[in-house]
Amino acid sequence: METVNEKIETIISQYPIIQYAFCSTQELTFSDKVRSICQTECERYGKSWSCPPGVGSVEECRQKCLSYGHVLLYTTQAEVTDSSIFAEALASRTSHEEITREILKDLKDAEISCFALSGDSCQICEQCAYPAACRHPDIAIPCIESYGILVVNLTDKYNIEFYTDMHTVTWFGLIFYQE
């Protein structure tokens, strides 16, 4: 009988996943300092359901993540003319978000209980309804940093590369699941 990890590997093998690792949610590092970056540096803070404070406190996010036993850390990549041009790098996230939504759909079709976090805040709607109810709660994906998660600890442990070259943007995703 196929394990959940084997089912997930079969599903993600259909997508342009560059690197991945299966981890325990106990390996995640949560920090209010990560969240403070959202508040001080992100224009979406307080304007999106996928960002703080809309996602809840770091402790609430931590509890949600830890309610799942396992997490898949994965990356996709996008080619750009110059990764240091912030607007161009940010615009490249669309394909990562689409891939994440498709993987989630496939996992749910395989009856795997899961939810995802991604490398940037949700951009499904041109203008988020926040603070009114989210228009697409079934497909909206919050940002990893909005949950206060320090991804670099996992990338170091599992040798997942953050940077390849100036023409490539690496996007990270986390999919939480039960075995």
Q: What is the pLDDT of residue 91?
A: 80
Q: What is the pLDDT of residue 71?
A: 98
Q: What is the pLDDT of residue 135?
A: 94
pTM over 0.85: yes
How far apart, in whole angstroms, are the C-alpha atoms of residue 30 and residue 160?
Answer: 19
pLDDT in tens, 118-144: 987 888 888 999 999 999 998 899 999
Q: What is the pLDDT of residue 55?
A: 94
The contacts of residue 19 (CB under 8 Å, 6+ apart) are 74, 75, 160, 161
Q: What is the pLDDT of residue 111?
A: 95
Question: Which segments in the chain show pLDDT lower than 70?
Answer: none
